[in-house]
Structure 1
Amino acid sequence: MSLTLAAGTAEAQSWEAIERVEHYKVNGTEPIELYRSIGERGPKISLGRTIAHTSFKLTWQRDYQQQGQACVLATAKPKLIITYTLPKAAQSLPPAVAAKWKAFSDGIVEHEKLHGEFMKDLTQQIQDVSIGLRNENDPGCKKVRAALQAQLKPISDAHVARHGEYDRVEMSPGGAVHQLILTFLNP
């Protein structure tokens, strides 16, 4: 199999992620009430609930072109939709609680937005290895498609590990999210 990434043909194609925010309502007028409501209403992940969640849908428009016996992946245009699911207080809060809620909420948004940046990085990495991918003896463009899939697995595995490590650090004792929770709940 002769597989190459043709120099000069892998020019970046511009794209922008679509970012959406969905809120779920939490009840209470005191920090502990709001936090308990998060535990009852937050996004369900695996067996439990979480404060917030970032998900994504990534689809591609790819143009495989036959060039004699060779096949080249000429374009790869992503459509990335990132959805942030965040808590929102259902009622007006007393001024002191509102200030604490804002700081807590802003910190959670910052955490989730970094997950979104990771997803944008993943998409760009996929595009970078896609455009210009070429196989010299590939009528029907089957080999180049298989070669692309083989290159995507390590990128995907690294992406999953990056998210996991980020959450592990952020949520561990002393981590940024852990500190947000403590600051929010403690008087």
Structure 2
Amino acid sequence: MRRISLAILAAAGVLFCGTASAGTKLTVHVRTYNVAGRTGAELIEAMDGLGPRHGHATRAIAETSYAVHWDLDVKRDNGICRLRRADGTIDLTYTFPRRTSPSGPVLRRRWDRFMAGVRQHEHTHGRIAKQMMRATETALAGLERPDNWFCTGLRWDARRRIDTIYADYEARQNAFDAREHRDGGHVEKLVNALMGKN
């Protein structure tokens, strides 16, 4: 599951979103929540009750959330507005379950394999988000146009490009989740293996 926010705030002379230095900056946080159980089924039940919220009524096993901010340096010269620099920041947060109950070697091996698959899934969401940042940098590079004193048109062009790429990569995130969560898909196999059904 993913939770995403995209911030684009206008300020005099600069389209400003957060604090950034040259180029894209990435920060990564890892959060955990505790689960306990003597069997794989009990651990799944604990995750179902304690995991990150997914909508109003359900919870996820794990979650990747990210916030994106852009700091765009715009300059006007001889009636032409130019984007001199586009600095992006992406703040990624992964939330994973952490087993706190003792277990025998069989359940421990199942848990380790389960968590390796869960981490792989969430890190793929993170990788898609980072690809989105690189695609946005490319789309914004060299942006210029004749414009008014406030470079209003160029700012709107930049915003449209950011929104278009964001929508494209959101669709990629959703397509990845649809493949992983389908009946018989990767997530179902992970859950069944943890419960000893495979």
- Confirm or deny: 8 A CA contact 2:30 2:95 kept in the other structure: yes
Q: What does residue 19 of structure 2 align with?
A: none
- Confirm or deny: 8 A CA contact 2:179 2:185 kept in the other structure: yes
Percent of pairs with identical residues: 25
- Confirm or deny: 8 A CA contact 1:38 1:87 kept in the other structure: yes
Q: What does residue 28 of structure 1 align with?
A: 37
Residue by residue over 1:115-144, the C-alpha shift from the partner in whole angstroms, topping out at 9 and shown as x without a partner, is 000110111111111232111233211110
Residue by residue over 1:1-27, the C-alpha shift from the partner in whole angstroms, topping out at 9 and shown as x without a partner, is xxxxxxxxxxxx643421111001111
Q: What does residue 28 of structure 2 align with?
A: 19
Larger mean CA deviation between 22-31 and 34-43 belongs to: 22-31
Aligned-pair distance for 1:154? 2.1
Letter of the aligned partner of 2:78 in structure 1? G
Letter of the aligned partner of 2:45 in structure 1? R
Secondary structure of the corresponding residue to residue 24 of structure 1: strand
Scaled by the length of structure 1, what TM-score is found?
0.88
Scaled by the length of structure 2, what TM-score is found?
0.84
Alpha-carbon distance in 2 for matches of 1:147, 1:15 = 20
Q: Which has the higher contact order (CA 8 A, sep 6+)?
A: 1
138, 141, 144: which one aligns with 1:128: 138
Q: How many residues in Structure 1 have an aligned counterpart in Structure 2?
A: 175
Larger mean CA deviation between 106-115 and 86-95 belongs to: 86-95
Secondary structure of the corresponding residue to residue 34 of structure 1: helix
Q: What does residue 91 of structure 2 align with?
A: 81
Letter of the aligned partner of 1:62 in structure 2? L
Letter of the aligned partner of 1:29 in structure 2? R
1:37 maps onto 2:46 in alignment = yes
92, 99, 102: which one aligns with 2:102: 92
Superposed, 1:37-116 pairs within 5 Å as 37-47=46-56, 48-116=58-126
Runs of 5+ in structure 1 lacking a partner? 1-12
Alpha-carbon distance in 2 for matches of 1:151, 1:59 = 14
